Structure 1
């Protein structure tokens, strides 16, 4: 018993010693309890959102301040009871703030209008009392009453169907049961809507069939497309331009003309037709694909213009490639066509020469040509020649016209020349005079014959200057002044074997002629009209030309010596000029004189 009492005694002393002696505050802010009058304490709050306090907006989470009040700085956009009417939140009034509105303003007669705590009108003091729920619509203040919608339907309000109800305050309709409507952003195709607000169903003026140059497609308040900014597609299928790379269009281009022709010489292997449409969004298709290779004769081209609207217009261009006017001799090769034309022959502008068309051997007659045509031995001085492809030389003027007749007879053509007492069919080389001979000097020419002959001086000059290749059909007023027979600008050494006896740039370094056509051809495709060997022409030599206009001039009727032209491999550059002219004995066989031939 004593032991039990002692245990109880000491246990009591232990409990008394272990008690907390710190002073506690009861019902104080910060004690972690929501005490009366406190909005919050620490993490404990009477409300958790601004909306619970009537605010319309909130920027952050509510928090408790150290004085156990809520931090309301995060609550925004006002609230009912702040004295400010928030019309956007359907507040009619706020406390004493009626915005100077009266019962009369609400069509409720006289009386005293007030504001409810809900910030809606209190009309109980008005002459006409609007009581929502009494079954009577106090128009125009009230819009409806439950069961009395004043014959208003969802359809009346712009919807396509559904069930309309009266709002709890009777001031408006509850449209939540209405279905669809223009303005809801959803296209109701079953109701005839084409669009709705900004929703255009991916349509544009372009997809609606209008021009690429249109503005923006819109949507009307009736949910129909607004196409006032749309521009109709252009029907313009005209061309603005049509051109060819060679030749000239006939007639000259005009948008209204659809058929054209162009003729080009055989030297034009390809041609390009280009065209641009007049309409900004029209397309142009040219067939065949350009540039086009030309075939002999007619080469039709179609240019189809498709307007933006799809309207089409077809233009045609018929390109005619003329056959080659060159002549191919089985004996001496190609004779290049030289067109008819007019040129100024010296520094006097009125001294004009006109020549008819002819064909000229593209090279000087070579040693191999001579032997093949005549069957005679090669007369050339081989010391001044590198091979049988070089021009034949040591031929006098008599030899040259004899060769022409032999070539004509060989090819079945009518010989041009006649010499008294000479039968060119049986003529041998030994029968050709090597001294001055009156009969051969009196040789006559049948200018209408189709055989071969020497060129006249005017024909040679016209060919050497390149005829009218630079400007077809135009008088060549400057060609006579060319320093050599070739394209200007250019170097004489590119076109002529010349200058062995000089120190001039481009001179030949060999004391002989060179193979024919070893240099560049001139504008007509003719080689060595300057340099290599001098060339005989038909004309008797005279100091000058007659003045004025000359047509197919064939020189003086008599003389002592015949003309030679073009210079040779040893000549200085000035002797190779187009205008340079000199003479030689008709019977002389010099190792630097040869010739070339022409025919109609």
Structure 2
């Protein structure tokens, strides 16, 4: 509603194309948040025990209301948009998800440190959850570690492509003109993980201490996969870009320094290796570094493979 949107601070935007209140974003949810963060939005921060206040009002490593250490990210966050999937396969008014604005810039990419420039785009605040996947696809892809707020897993590159195709159809009219949901390019993924133009040059996404920002073999242990947004976000307010599930990118895997390394249109076929980034709950810490890149068969439905979407120009 107009009240919901006009009360927002820091450029926060409500559910585009539909009534904001249907997405579970009340005026109070938004007005209590600063710097563009949005509270309770279906798979939002507050459901995980980390409220918008925890993330945006805390400075210097203080502990927020959810008992989770928090940081002030207000200076680094732009507009946050909330979209809603009509959710024909689940009950209720729809499943909302958040996209964080990323202002383009230049980064030193990968372990080779090659200079790369990216344009403006938006990226998912969290990995795609099982709830959102179910709403779009009608099933949970027979994934493991079931839970509405757990990341979808056991998905191949081509499963992700089909999910995004359907998501674009369901959000027709909500998306800004010329923008589509898709998998990130490798450069887009790494720029966001680094913290964009607010990067503090951490080893992992948001800290040099992986235990603060991600789930990996040493702290996940037998528990395995965890709900999204249980650790600290990075400088841009993005959760779990180190650990939890490997995240597919849109390009075929090539070696650092090769002629095709930065070709955004170098898409994999079913027999190609595709880029995955970020490590997972079962990974050693070294595989969760922002700079680490790996390739997996595009058809592989690994138990620790998931995705994070971007809203950007079509490739």
Q: Do the two structures share a fold, i.e. TM-score over 0.5? A: yes
**1:379 and 2:141 equivalent?**
yes
Q: CA separation of 1:324/1:347 partners in 2, compared to 1, >3 Å: closer, same or farther?
A: closer
Corresponding residue to 1:483 among 203, 208, 213: 203
* Offset at residue 268 of structure 1 (A): 7.9
Q: Secondary structure at the match of 1:388?
A: coil
* Offset at residue 348 of structure 1 (A): 5.4
Asked if the contact 1:358/1:599 (under 8 Å) is kept, the reply is yes
Q: 2:35 — aligned with what?
A: 267
**1:451 and 2:180 equivalent?**
yes
Q: CA separation of 1:404/1:346 partners in 2, compared to 1, >3 Å: closer, same or farther?
A: closer
Residues in 1 aligned to 2:193 and 2:141: alpha-carbon distance in whole angstroms:
27
Corresponding residue to 2:172 among 403, 412, 423: 412
- Superposition pairs of residues 580-595 of structure 1, within 5 angstroms: 580-595=292-307
Residues in 1 aligned to 2:163 and 2:172: alpha-carbon distance in whole angstroms:
14
Q: CA separation of 1:414/1:405 partners in 2, compared to 1, >3 Å: closer, same or farther?
A: farther
* Offset at residue 449 of structure 1 (A): 4.0
Q: Secondary structure at the match of 1:409?
A: helix
Asked if the contact 1:380/1:591 (under 8 Å) is kept, the reply is no
Q: 1:561 — aligned with what?
A: 273
Unmatched runs of 5 consecutive residues or more in structure 2:
1-33, 38-74, 86-95
- Superposition pairs of residues 63-462 of structure 1, within 5 angstroms: 267=35, 325-331=79-85, 332-346=96-110, 351-375=114-138, 377-382=139-144, 385=145, 387-412=147-172, 449-462=178-191
Q: CA separation of 1:268/1:354 partners in 2, compared to 1, >3 Å: closer, same or farther?
A: same
- Of structures 1 and 2, the larger Rg is shown by 1
Q: Secondary structure at the match of 1:510?
A: helix
Asked if the contact 2:278/2:289 (under 8 Å) is kept, the reply is yes
Q: Secondary structure at the match of 2:180?
A: coil
* Offset at residue 357 of structure 1 (A): 0.8
Q: CA separation of 1:357/1:452 partners in 2, compared to 1, >3 Å: closer, same or farther?
A: same
Q: CA separation of 1:597/1:389 partners in 2, compared to 1, >3 Å: closer, same or farther?
A: same
* Offset at residue 511 of structure 1 (A): 3.6
Cα deviations across residues 304-336 of structure 1 (Å, max 9, x unaligned)?
Answer: xxxxxxxxxxxxxxxxx9x95222111341101
Q: Secondary structure at the match of 1:531?
A: coil
Cα deviations across residues 380-433 of structure 1 (Å, max 9, x unaligned)?
Answer: 433xx1522100111111110111111111111599xxxxxxxxxxxxxxxxxx
Asked if the contact 2:268/2:274 (under 8 Å) is kept, the reply is no
Unmatched runs of 5 consecutive residues or more in structure 1:
1-265, 270-320, 416-447, 472-478, 501-506
Q: Secondary structure at the match of 2:179?
A: coil
Q: CA separation of 1:399/1:542 partners in 2, compared to 1, >3 Å: closer, same or farther?
A: same
Cα deviations across residues 230-286 of structure 1 (Å, max 9, x unaligned)?
Answer: xxxxxxxxxxxxxxxxxxxxxxxxxxxxxxxxxxxx7289xxxxxxxxxxxxxxxxx
Q: Secondary structure at the match of 2:222?
A: coil
Residues in 2 aligned to 1:397 and 1:470: alpha-carbon distance in whole angstroms:
29
* Offset at residue 538 of structure 1 (A): 0.2
Q: Secondary structure at the match of 1:372?
A: helix
More helix by share: 2
Q: CA separation of 1:346/1:596 partners in 2, compared to 1, >3 Å: closer, same or farther?
A: closer
Residues in 2 aligned to 1:339 and 1:570: alpha-carbon distance in whole angstroms:
32
Asked if the contact 2:36/2:78 (under 8 Å) is kept, the reply is no
Structure showing greater relative contact order (alpha-carbon pairs closer than 8 Å, 6 or more residues apart): 2
Q: CA separation of 1:327/1:394 partners in 2, compared to 1, >3 Å: closer, same or farther?
A: same
Residues in 2 aligned to 1:411 and 1:557: alpha-carbon distance in whole angstroms:
24
Cα deviations across residues 493-530 of structure 1 (Å, max 9, x unaligned)?
Answer: 11001014xxxxxx223342000111111110111111
Cα deviations across residues 200-243 of structure 1 (Å, max 9, x unaligned)?
Answer: xxxxxxxxxxxxxxxxxxxxxxxxxxxxxxxxxxxxxxxxxxxx
Corresponding residue to 1:536 among 248, 269, 274: 248
Residues in 2 aligned to 1:555 and 1:414: alpha-carbon distance in whole angstroms:
26
Residues in 2 aligned to 1:594 and 1:354: alpha-carbon distance in whole angstroms:
26
Asked if the contact 1:381/1:591 (under 8 Å) is kept, the reply is yes
Asked if the contact 1:540/1:558 (under 8 Å) is kept, the reply is yes
Asked if the contact 1:386/1:515 (under 8 Å) is kept, the reply is no
Asked if the contact 2:36/2:79 (under 8 Å) is kept, the reply is no
Aligned residues: 227
TM-score where L is the length of structure 2: 0.65
Asked if the contact 1:565/1:582 (under 8 Å) is kept, the reply is yes
* Offset at residue 468 of structure 1 (A): 1.2
Q: Secondary structure at the match of 1:452?
A: strand
Asked if the contact 1:453/1:597 (under 8 Å) is kept, the reply is yes
Cα deviations across residues 576-595 of structure 1 (Å, max 9, x unaligned)?
Answer: 00111111111121111000
Asked if the contact 1:367/1:380 (under 8 Å) is kept, the reply is no
Q: CA separation of 1:568/1:365 partners in 2, compared to 1, >3 Å: closer, same or farther?
A: same
Q: 2:11 — aligned with what?
A: none
Asked if the contact 1:353/1:458 (under 8 Å) is kept, the reply is yes
Q: CA separation of 1:499/1:348 partners in 2, compared to 1, >3 Å: closer, same or farther?
A: closer
